[in-house]
């Protein structure tokens, strides 16, 4: 596999140079972060592998970066970027902030402290995993390390010969060392014979390698023909089909060298059974099959696209307090109409902005919108919260807002492209999988295959993908976070849960609060790395809610009559309550990402219903007024 980004030392130097440039341009904050990132990268590399000879130079680069980073401690807090601290007493801020110092461990969060400390939109995950993303070449190395054991590669003839020559050299040196000082002629002859042997070894090896190469070429051609025959039906080839043929030829070639695919195939034919199919899939995904190579290639490519976007430090013009960002966030639709396959007029983004100053993204379908559904309540609640923010926005208006909008647009485009890419990659992987093992090509096994492929595909990519979603949805997340804070101790009744569906007497809950099990379950969602598992978590949460609701009602002697079963009218208020208690702002982006990545066939069933309900509740929590008294539930 190709090395991701040149030699580590060069990459490190490049990173350091960027930092110096940033510092030169007086972008202190970014420069500081970049220095730390460089140090981080270097220690990453040094921990990972034995870099011959470069260790010292790498460490020197790190040392210099560390020196530069230290020099920031004094000045970064008096930088004009942070007007608030200007007014406050600088020295005390200095001390409290500088004391921990830029330790390697918390480097990123410390450096981006302005943004991260208040953390509604910091990119660090709340799930407790490392907040910085490894550079793409490290990512790639981790990818291959994961399956190192099964990559016991056989040596090519030339490699084998050079290994032999090393041995020869070693024994030669041993013999020379044993020679008495006077035996110079013997030494010459030993040297000569060594050289001759080594030369011969190499020549033989080269000849063998050439022969092998020719054979491989011939075989490859033959297999390519075979692959072409299999796809023969259609006339003109698209680039996609061409690629698929090549891939299939690779699979055929692989199977000539490996027996296991055939064995699995006969096993499954003999005993078609879902658990056997799952075994095959997990074996396949841990092997060095061309499918796995393709998987890695796609993952690496997507990570490579993501990395520069998600590691870019946030622009300094970011709104840092909520009131400022509020008026900009309102015109944003609550759900991005990202999915291109959705029909145009299924709008995911109802217009909630009463002033109709929709951003240009929304304006095209604004015309289609009907007033009849405009929610008076929303209208009023937003009027309530808008003036304060609106005034401030006018006072503080500056071109950076424009810039921000532009940047957001660009980010959205990136996101769209990456989502499309991910779908393309998974489609290609699935079809190669089904081509390689046609025994999997039944409705049920296809789903299993897709599930396994998705799990392998998303596990290393979810965090960076989510980081991108969080960036794009930052303003909504801020709003969501604000409301979660404002309403964290709200009672179920205040969000419209009927009295019969939660215990009135707090004593019956023994120190807990209603629906706590559902809250605990939902909190687990961020731990999983695979969309399907996350979706299962959403379903479990909703089931728990229904279970709790039924218990509470029975406790109050409501009787278990069927007619009183929980419907959406009850479910959504409870779900909103659960969300408020969950205190997990990234759920918003998690759901948006799930919606993009979940296989369509799940969207019609229970899973789809649960995800839709959760999104609906999220939108409701976002729309809560800034005042602490809630609008009338009805």
Partner 1 sequence: MATAGAAGTSGRTYSFKVVLLGEGCVGKTSLVLRYCENKFNDKHITTLQASFLTKKLNITGKRVNLAIWDTAGQERFHALGPIYYRDSNGAILVYDITDEDSFEKVKNWVKELRKMLGNEICLCIVGNKIDLDKDRHVSVEDAESYAESVGAKHYHTSAKLNKGIEELFLDLCKRMMETAQAEERAKGNGASQSASNRRGVQIVDDEPQATPAGGCCSSG
585-604 binders of partner 1 (CB under 8 A): 599-601, 603-604
Residues in the chain: 634
Per CB under 8 A, 263 contacts partner 1: no
Q: How far is the CB of 583 from partner 1 (least distance, A)?
A: 21
- Cβ neighbors of 38 (< 8 A, separation 6 or more) are 12, 15, 16, 19, 61, 62, 65
Count of residues that interact with partner 1, criterion CB under 8 A: 63
Stretch that binds partner 1, among 160-168, 331-339, 459-467, 504-512 (CB under 8 A): 331-339
Helix, strand or coil for residue 128? coil
Per CB under 8 A, 350 contacts partner 1: yes
Q: How far is the CB of 95 from partner 1 (least distance, A)?
A: 47
613-632 binders of partner 1 (CB under 8 A): 613, 615-617, 619-620, 623, 631
Q: How far is the CB of 68 from partner 1 (least distance, A)?
A: 48
Query: 35 vs 515, which CB is nearer to partner 1?
Result: 515
Place of tokens 């759900």: 335
Q: Which of 372, 510, 511, 559 binds partner 1 (CB under 8 A)?
A: 372
Q: Which long-range contacts (C-beta less than 8 Å, at least 24 apart) are formed by 114-119?
A: 114/29, 114/81, 114/82, 114/320, 115/314, 115/318, 115/320, 118/320
Query: 99 vs 370, which CB is nearer to partner 1?
Result: 370
485 vs 51: CA distance, rounded Å:
49
Per CB under 8 A, 550 contacts partner 1: yes
Q: Which of 542, 548, 593, 594 binds partner 1 (CB under 8 A)?
A: 542
Q: How far is the CB of 597 from partner 1 (least distance, A)?
A: 11
| C-alpha to C-alpha distances, 587 to 96, 102, 522, 563, 591, nearest whole angstrom | 32, 30, 9, 33, 6
Per CB under 8 A, 366 contacts partner 1: no
Q: How far is the CB of 217 from partner 1 (least distance, A)?
A: 31
What is the DSSP code (8-state) at residue 4? Answer: B
Q: How far is the CB of 603 from partner 1 (least distance, A)?
A: 7
Rama region for 630: left / alpha / beta (φ>0; ψ in -120 to 50; rest): beta
CA-based nearest residue to 126, from 614, 587, 595? 587
Q: Nearest 5 degrees, angle CA 126-CA 129-CA 133?
A: 105
What is the helix (H) or strand (E) element at residue 67, kind and residue range?
helix 55-75
Q: Which of 37, 76, 298, 352 binds partner 1 (CB under 8 A)?
A: 352
Query: 285 vs 542, which CB is nearer to partner 1?
Result: 542
Taken in order 92, 98, 100, 105, the sign of the CA dihedral is: positive
Q: Is 31 exposed, middle or buried (0-12, 13-18, 19+ CB in 10 A)?
A: buried
568-587 binders of partner 1 (CB under 8 A): 568-569, 571-573
Per CB under 8 A, 238 contacts partner 1: no
CA-based nearest residue to 227, from 208, 251, 206? 251
Q: For the chain, how many helices (H) and strands (E)?
A: 26, 0
412-451 binders of partner 1 (CB under 8 A): 423, 427, 430-431, 443
Query: Which residues sit at the interface with partner 1, rule CB under 8 A?
Result: 334-335, 339-348, 350, 352, 368, 370, 372-373, 375, 377-378, 423, 427, 430-431, 443, 496, 542-543, 546-547, 549-550, 562-563, 565-569, 571-573, 599-601, 603-606, 609-610, 612-613, 615-617, 619-620, 623, 631, 633-634
């Amino acid at each position: 596999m190709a090395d991701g980004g040149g030699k580590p030392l060069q990459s490190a130097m490049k990173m350091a140079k960027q930092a110096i440039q940033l510092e030169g341009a007086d972008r202190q904050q970014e420069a500081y972060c970049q220095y730390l990132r460089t140090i981080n990268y270097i220690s990453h590399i040094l921990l990972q592998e034995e870099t011959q000879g470069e260790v010292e130079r790498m460490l020197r680069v790190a040392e210099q970066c560390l020196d530069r980073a230290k020099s920031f401690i004094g000045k970064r807090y008096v930088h004009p970027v942070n007007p608030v601290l200007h007014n406050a007493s600088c020295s005390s801020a200095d001390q409290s902030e500088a004391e921990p110092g830029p330790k390697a461990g918390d480097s990123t969060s410390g450096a981006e402290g302005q943004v991260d400390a208040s953390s509604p939109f910091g990119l660090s995950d709340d799930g407790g995993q490392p907040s910085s993303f490894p550079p793409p070449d490290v990512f790639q190395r981790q990818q291959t390390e994961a399956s190192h054991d099964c990559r016991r590669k056989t040596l090519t003839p030339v490699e084998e010969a050079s290994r032999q020559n090393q041995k020869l050299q070693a024994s030669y040196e041993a013999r020379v060392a044993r020679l008495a000082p006077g035996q110079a002629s013997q030494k010459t002859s030993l040297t000569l014979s060594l050289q001759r042997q080594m030369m011969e070894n190499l020549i033989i090896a080269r000849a063998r390698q050439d022969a092998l190469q020719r054979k491989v070429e011939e075989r490859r051609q033959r297999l390519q023909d075979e692959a072409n025959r299999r796809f023969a039906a259609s006339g003109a080839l698209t680039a996609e089909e061409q690629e698929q043929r090549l891939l299939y030829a690779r699979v055929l070639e692989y199977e000539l060298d490996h027996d296991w695919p055939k064995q699995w195939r006969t096993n499954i034919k003999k005993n078609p059974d879902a658990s056997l199919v799952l075994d095959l899939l997990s074996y396949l995904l841990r092997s060095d099959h061309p499918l796995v190579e393709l998987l890695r290639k796609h993952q690496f490519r997507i990570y490579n696209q993501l990395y520069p976007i998600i590691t870019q430090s946030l622009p300094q013009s970011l709104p840092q307090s909520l009131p400022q960002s509020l008026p900009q966030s309102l015109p944003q639709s609550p759900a991005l109409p990202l999915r291109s396959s959705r029909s145009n007029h299924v709008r995911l983004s109802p217009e909630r902005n009463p002033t109709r100053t929709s951003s240009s993204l929304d304006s095209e379908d604004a015309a289609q919108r009907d007033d009849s559904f405009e929610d008076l309540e929303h209208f009023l609640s937003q009027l309530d919260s808008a003036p304060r923010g609106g005034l401030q926005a006018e006072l503080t208006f500056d071109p950076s807002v424009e810039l921000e909008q532009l940047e957001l647009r660009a980010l959205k485009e990136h996101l769209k492209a990456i989502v499309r890419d991910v779908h393309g990659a998974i489609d290609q992987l699935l079809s190669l999988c089904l081509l390689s093992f046609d025994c999997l090509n039944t409705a049920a096994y296809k789903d299993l295959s897709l599930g396994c492929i998705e799990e392998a595909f998303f596990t290393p990519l979810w965090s960076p993908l989510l980081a991108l979603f969080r960036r794009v949805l930052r303003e909504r997340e801020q709003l969501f976070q604000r409301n979660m804070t404002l309403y964290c101790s709200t009672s179920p009744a205040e969000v419209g849960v009927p009295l019969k569906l939660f215990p009135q007497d707090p004593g019956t809950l023994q120190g807990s609060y209603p629906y706590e099990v559902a809250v605990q379950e939902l909190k687990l969602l961020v731990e999983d790395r695979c969309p399907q598992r996350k979706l299962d978590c959403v379903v479990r949460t909703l089931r728990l809610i229904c279970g709790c609701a039924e218990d509470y009602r029975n406790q109050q002697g409501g009787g278990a009559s069927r007619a009183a079963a929980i419907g959406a009218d009850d479910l959504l208020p409870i779900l909103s309550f659960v969300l408020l208690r969950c205190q997990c702002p990234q759920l918003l982006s998690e759901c948006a990402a799930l919606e993009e990545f979940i296989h369509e066939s799940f969207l019609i069933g229970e899973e789809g219903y649960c995800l839709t309900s959760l999104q609906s509740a999220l939108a409701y929590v976002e729309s809560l007024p800034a005042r602490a008294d809630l609008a009338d539930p009805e």
